[in-house]
């Protein structure tokens, strides 16, 4: 934690000339720099755990570059070297020098290997070579230049997939080819823009654009760019990633390239909106997608298209008698983190592509539904093949199932069907998005593929047929606590949608965990019909029930006191959300409970819920990212919790507390728990996992022992979500409740 402690590199000595002389003398005997000299390379100690677990700071790229005579730093440079990005930036319309923050590289010992980090993601490994290691080039600076891409080999991968893999065409076939989309393509023969549709054979480019301003298509230059030669890289200052991609497409014998900044007229708002929401068609129909996976911005070259832009897969160096090799991080790590892997739009582009040609600083991969190829020279450091460790594509499973089952939909109401949705949403929401307003657009392509399989529309990112389950998403931000205010909720989306959240969300770790662990039957709905109110429509949400979810128990008991729901007057304009939900539900004032912050350091942020006045812990809350502070404040302001001693909860017969019906909306600032569903759990205390906090004696096991609630706050007649929770049914039955129409914005 304490950075100054782990900083091993001292300041540059003042007596520089003396230092240089003594350093050069020293290097004859021990060619390691002053940082690496502190590392222990002797083979007999390598397998033992490192004495000091803290990371060793190696310094910035420039620091490493200066230590040219250090053998170990050369091995590190192989993993972080980004020569091409530091020179010859060719930016049109560039406002000031790019603000690239200086990354400091760190070293961590892991078994007998050193791991190199850039602060957040792993860059690669330096470890002793095994005896069967094939010869690899030494890491001298003259050797740090890899080969060009083997075009013939890449072509053979593509044609093998095209001709032999029956499954690899289906992403387009089953989903997206029914109505081709009008698109603009770059003709790499005539160097101009052409009008086409997604049924044309074309290659798509997925790259990191970053925040640099660059050449793009506008309404004003569109006509000019359609003339032959207008996009000639010699004449037009295109970002390096794009000019390289044009070259590569031509080298591979293809003619058309789709790339966002040229293929989307950037100031044509209406058409841009259509294109952004149809990425499933654009990437799903691409013959293949070129992914520039280790790029930091649009001026990063595509590695291996031009000489000197790629590094060898591994390099070796003998240090103190041990043969070490330096090899880059696996593709899985690169596509899960890193500058490309951490972007939400890029996640969607990769998942929607049928075939990917992934270019990294060290190697080229070809991924399709049936095969993985790479041109890395395997050094086989272990029996495994780290160079082939690639991430899977969750959507590919859907595609395969659809073909195998003659295109019938998978059972989405099963546990597996919902877990797939959860996996995709979690992976998507933990990735960064520069414009929060695009949160649903960047998921729309994935949503379109799921819609085909699930057979239902998506309402603000939630599958309509699984609506009751999907409403129970929980914020899974780990660094969120009352002391670190999280960014506010996005006003562009309704509070009931995860799209309004700034951070990662999950279902399987929130209130839904009980249903997903148990399977069937997991949840029973407790609300009345849910209506969706958009600016020009008011209609019921078509929820479906299945193994995980049961309809409201005995339709009479749950629906008898429902007020009839006719289209209500729209709420005041200022408070109107893009999509408002109307439903009748049982609610209880939050002030009848007490809250206490709990355990935000150990994973998902949670709060304990105490029944009052007994002060016994009856459940937990998952506050939404933006509402931690508010709920924590209300927790400390509320009545202090009595000592967790004896006071038993007054025994109450089920449903004994009165339920009144309310007509007028609560006053501004009123906070309530809204009862959504009832969860079936076996062993409430064990399931709650709150240790001694949970009052297991007061809240014993019962068959449907837990209630799923949403915590809301009313403003201007509209309730906004603050979080979700699970409390014991006995605690709920002991408080005063109201049945009312909840207007959820």
**Chain positions contacting Zn ion, by CB under 5 A:** 33, 36, 67, 70, 72-73, 161, 165, 168, 368, 370
CB of 223 to Zn ion, least distance (A): 39
Q: Which is nearer to Zn ion, 168 or 249 (CB)?
A: 168
CB of 258 to Zn ion, least distance (A): 20
Q: Which two tokens stand for residue 134?
A: 């094939």
CB of 447 to Zn ion, least distance (A): 25
Q: Which is nearer to Zn ion, 368 or 684 (CB)?
A: 368
CB of 33 to Zn ion, least distance (A): 3
CB of 58 to Zn ion, least distance (A): 7
CB of 148 to Zn ion, least distance (A): 24
Q: Which is nearer to Zn ion, 77 or 530 (CB)?
A: 77
Q: Residue 419: left if φ>0, alpha if ψ -120 to 50, beta else—which one? A: alpha
Q: Which two tokens stand for residue 90?
A: 């060719």
Alpha-carbon span 129 to 135, nearest angstrom:
10
Q: What is the CA radius of gyration of the chain?
A: 29
Please give the backbone phi and psi of residue 334, each rounded to the nearest 5 degrees, phi first: -65, -40
Secondary structure string (H, E, C) spanning 597-637: EECCCCCCCEEEEEECCCCEEEEEEEECHHHHHHHHHHHHH
Q: At what angle are helices 344-352 and 441-454 packed, to 10 degrees? A: 40
3-class SS at 64? helix
DSSP string spanning 346-408? HHHHHHH-SSEEEE-SS-EEEE-SS-EEE------SSSS-GGG-----HHHHHHHHHHHTTTP
By CB atoms closer than 10 A (0-12, 13-18, 19+), residue 436 is middle
Instruction: Give the single-character DSSP code of 343.
Output: B
Q: Which is nearer to Zn ion, 133 or 372 (CB)?
A: 372
Alpha-carbon span 274 to 181, nearest angstrom:
9
Q: Which is nearer to Zn ion, 388 or 735 (CB)?
A: 388
**Cis bond before residue 646 (omega within 30° of 0):** no
Q: At what angle are helices 441-454 and 394-404 packed, to 10 degrees? A: 30
Q: Which two tokens stand for residue 2?
A: 């304490």
Q: Which is nearer to Zn ion, 297 or 317 (CB)?
A: 317
CB of 398 to Zn ion, least distance (A): 16
CB of 319 to Zn ion, least distance (A): 10
CB of 399 to Zn ion, least distance (A): 12
């Amino acid at each position: 934690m304490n950075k100054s402690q782990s900083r091993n590199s001292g300041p540059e000595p003042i007596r520089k000339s003396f230092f240089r002389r003594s350093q050069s003398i020293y290097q004859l005997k021990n060619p390691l720099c002053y940082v690496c000299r502190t590392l222990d390379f002797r083979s007999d100690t390598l397998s033992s755990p490192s004495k000091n677990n803290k990371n060793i700071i190696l310094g910035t790229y420039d620091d490493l570059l200066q230590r040219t005579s250090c053998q170990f730093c050369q091995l590190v440079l192989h993993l972080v070297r980004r020569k091409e990005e530091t020179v010859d930036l060719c930016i049109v319309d560039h406002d000031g020098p790019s603000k690239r923050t200086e990354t400091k590289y760190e070293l961590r010992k892991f078994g007998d290997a050193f791991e190199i980090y850039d602060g957040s993601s792993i860059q690669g490994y330096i470890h002793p070579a095994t005896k069967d290691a094939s010869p690899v080039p030494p890491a001298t600076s003259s050797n740090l230049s890899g080969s060009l891409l083997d075009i013939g080999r890449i072509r053979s991968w593509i044609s093998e997939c095209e001709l032999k893999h029956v499954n690899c065409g289906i992403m387009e076939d089953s989903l997206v080819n029914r109505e081709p989309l009008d698109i603009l393509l770059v003709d790499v023969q005539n160097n101009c823009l052409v009008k086409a549709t997604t049924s044309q054979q074309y290659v798509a480019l997925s790259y990191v654009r970053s925040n640099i301003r660059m050449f793009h298509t506008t309404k004003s230059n569109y006509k000019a760019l359609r003339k032959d030669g207008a996009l000639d890289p010699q004449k037009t200052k295109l970002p390096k990633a794009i000019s390289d991609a044009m070259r590569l497409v031509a080298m591979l014998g293809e003619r058309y390239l789709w790339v966002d900044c040229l293929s989307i007229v950037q100031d044509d708002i209406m058409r841009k909106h259509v294109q952004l929401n149809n990425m499933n068609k654009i990437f799903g129909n691409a013959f293949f997608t070129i992914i520039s996976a280790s790029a930091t911005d649009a001026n990063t070259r595509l590695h291996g298209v031009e000489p000197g832009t790629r590094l060898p897969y591994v390099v070796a160096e003998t240090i103190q008698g041990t043969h070490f090799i330096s090899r880059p991080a696996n593709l899985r790590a690169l596509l899960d983190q890193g500058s490309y892997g951490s972007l939400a739009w890029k996640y969607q582009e990769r998942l929607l592509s049928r075939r990917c040609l992934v270019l990294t600083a060290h190697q080229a991969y070809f991924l399709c539904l049936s095969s993985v190829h790479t041109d890395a020279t395997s050094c086989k450091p272990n029996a495994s093949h780290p160079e082939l460790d690639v991430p899977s594509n969750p959507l590919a499973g859907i595609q395969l199932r659809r073909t195998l089952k003659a295109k019938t939909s998978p059972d989405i109401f099963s546990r597996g069907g919902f877990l797939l949705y959860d996996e995709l949403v979690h992976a998507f929401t933990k990735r960064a998005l520069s414009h929060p307003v695009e949160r649903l657009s960047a998921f729309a392509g994935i949503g379109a593929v799921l819609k085909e399989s699930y057979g239902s529309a998506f309402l603000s990112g939630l599958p309509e047929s699984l609506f009751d389950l999907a409403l129970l998403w929980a914020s899974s931000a780990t660094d969120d606590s009352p002391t670190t205010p999280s960014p506010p909720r996005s006003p562009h989306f309704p509070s009931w949608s995860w799209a309004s959240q700034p951070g990662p969300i999950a279902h399987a770790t929130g209130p839904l965990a009980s249903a997903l662990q148990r399977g069937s039957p997991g949840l029973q709905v407790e609300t009345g019909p849910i209506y969706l109110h958009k600016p020009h429509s008011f209609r019921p949400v078509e929820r479906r029930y299945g193994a995980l979810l049961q309809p409201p128990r005995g339709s009479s008991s749950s629906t008898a006191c429902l007020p009839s729901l006719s289209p209500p007057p729209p709420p005041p304009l200022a408070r109107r959300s893009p999509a408002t939900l109307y439903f009748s539900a049982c609610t209880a004032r939050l002030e009848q409970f007490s809250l206490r912050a709990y355990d935000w350091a150990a994973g998902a942020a949670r709060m304990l819920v105490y029944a009052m006045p007994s002060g016994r812990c009856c459940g937990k809350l998952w506050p939404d990212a933006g509402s931690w502070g508010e709920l924590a404040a209300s927790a400390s302001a509320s009545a202090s919790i009595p000592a967790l001693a004896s006071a038993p909860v007054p025994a109450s017969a089920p449903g004994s507390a009165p339920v009144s019906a309310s007509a007028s909306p609560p006053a501004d600032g009123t906070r309530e728990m809204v009862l959504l569903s009832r969860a079936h759990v076996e062993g409430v205390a064990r399931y709650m996992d709150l240790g001694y906090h949970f009052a297991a004696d007061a809240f014993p096991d019962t068959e449907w022992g837990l209630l799923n609630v949403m915590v809301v706050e009313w403003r201007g007649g509209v309730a906004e979500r603050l979080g979700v929770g699970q409390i014991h049914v006995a605690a709920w039955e002991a408080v005063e409740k109201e049945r009312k129409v909840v207007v959820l914005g």
